[in-house]
Amino acid sequence: MTHAACQFVTPLCFQALSGHPVHTELLDSNQEQSMGHIHLARWADCLVIAPATANRMAKMAQGIADDLLSTLYLAAECPVWLAPAMNQAMWRHPATQRNLKTLQEDGVKIIGPASGEQACGELGPGRLSEPSEICAAVLASKPVQTEPALKILITAGPTREALDPVRFISNRSSGKMGYALASAAIAAGAEVTLVSGPVNIPAPAVKRLIQVESAQQMHDAVMANIANQAIVIGCAAVADYRPAQFSSQKIKKTEQNFDSSLQLTRNPDIIASVAALDHRPFTVGFAAETQDVEDYALSKLRSKGLDMIAANQVGLTAGGFDSEQNALKVFWPEGEHDLGMTDKQTLAKQLLALIIEKYHEKNST
Ligand code: C5P
């Protein structure tokens, strides 16, 4: 968001609605640490500037880089889209039209502007195109897919294991890594089925979204949708145990004869069940460990019969659960690869590329 945009809508509002951090400053020590402007420019698949003012167009046409957005524009190597919005006289002005021509010659694609009644009460060209038109124009430019889409099933988020109608056992998983993987898979042209436990983030536009609560429900949803999946990625933090008894009435507090023990029973291991199927998909698991990450990950790769495992160290200081950043050590039977600390979106793209590479290697032999 530019400073002018922040005067109309607060960054907090966009952050809450999108579920993503909002960047506003060119030189912000906090943001530079997590994702600097060059990194942001590399991260994006395309840059859409909407609404673009006359001033923004002038800056871009001249190559001025004095704020985050103008710097991003110069650093970006991806396709750039511009949806102008301004007063009709400003749009018609020879200076704006000159800048428009320069930007088009520089390869910037223009959406709109629409014509009609303006916020200032005047009539004419300069209205921002409808958001749906902007999205449609950008999506229509995606390369046409020639091969059949790869089918990928991803589990994400925590599970909840109910004790009674109001209480459950769960964990800190936010679902961010699984959802980032689902977004990366969509961007890679895959047909994605997302089986998700309860999370507080918006789901990407997957082909099939199945929302579940418990490990048993997640297991059943995965098995019901396993046919023809090329790849299954178990990113969910599935509870290993559930209460042995579910009380259909709320359990009451008792002062006398208080029994503090809780009987648990094992949940099915979903990813191991997938790996044990006769016609199994390429099966990828995750290992979140607080210590001895490599040893535990390798033993899980073997014991669950996986094709690949992505391990990360979770704890109060490392990335992982509920944080925006993460680092992974990825193991497969013949090798390993480190993916360094970065935001979960970038990490998801890197991990998915590795998974697809190893999937093709396995299927070509
Ligand atoms: O054994 P652990 O829970 O550490 O294994 C983690 C991996 O196994 C993750 O990929 C997780 O999604 C998967 N898992 C599962 N079903 C379980 C437990 C873990 O699919 N019941």
Query: Residue 158: CB within 6 Å of ligand 1?
Result: no
Is pLDDT above 60 for 68? Answer: yes
Report pLDDT digits (tens) over 25-56: 887 666 544 557 777 888 888 999 999 999 99
160 or 38, greater pLDDT: 160
Report pLDDT digits (tens) over 246-280: 999 998 887 676 778 899 999 999 999 999 999 99
Is pLDDT above 70 for 98? Answer: yes
Is pLDDT above 70 for 143? Answer: no
Cis peptide before 113 (omega within 30 of 0): yes
Q: Looking at 92-213, which runs of residues are DSSP E strands?
A: 109-110, 114-117, 123-127, 151-156, 161-162, 168-169, 191-196, 208-211
Token couple for 76: 């970006």
Cis peptide before 51 (omega within 30 of 0): yes
Give residue 319's pLDDT band: very low, low, confident or very high (50, 70, 90): low
Q: Name which CATH class applies to 3-141.
A: alpha beta
Task: Tell how far the Cα of 285 is from the centroid of ligand 1, in angstroms.
Answer: 7
Q: Among all chains, which residue has been given the structure tokens 């490392």? A: 318
Are 193 and 229 in contact by the 8 Å Cβ rule? The answer is: yes
CA–CA distances in Å: residue 75 to residues 3, 41, 55, 214: 19, 6, 19, 45
Query: Residue 118: CB within 6 Å of ligand 1?
Result: no
37-46, 64-73, 155-164, 244-253, range with the lowest pLDDT = 37-46
Q: Mean pLDDT, to the nearest integer, of 315-337?
A: 77
In angstroms, the CA 89 to CA 56 distance is 16
Write 285-292 long-range contacts (CB < 8 A, 24+). Answer: 285/234, 285/309, 285/310, 286/177, 286/234, 286/235, 286/310, 286/311, 286/312, 287/311, 287/312, 288/237, 288/312, 288/314, 288/320, 288/321, 289/313, 289/314, 290/314, 290/315
Closest among 273, 214, 193, 233 to 358, alpha carbons compared: 233
The domain segmentation of the chain, as residue ranges, is 3-141, 151-248+262-364
In angstroms, the CA 365 to CA 363 distance is 6
Query: Residue 240: CB within 6 Å of ligand 1?
Result: yes
User: Which atom of ligand 1 lies closest to the CA of 285?
Assistant: 10
Decide: pTM greater than 0.85. Answer: no
Are 76 and 44 in contact by the 8 Å Cβ rule? The answer is: yes
Mean pLDDT value across the chain:
90
In angstroms, the CA 93 to CA 325 distance is 46
Is pLDDT above 70 for 297? Answer: yes
Is pLDDT above 80 for 324? Answer: no
CA–CA distances in Å: residue 173 to residues 191, 204, 222, 350, 351: 24, 17, 19, 21, 19
Q: Does 3-141 match 151-248+262-364 in CATH topology?
A: yes
Q: Domain 151-248+262-364 carries which CATH code?
A: 3.40.50.10300
Q: Which of 46, 120, 135, 235 is catalytic?
A: 120
Q: Whose CA is nearest to atom 4 of ligand 1?
A: 287
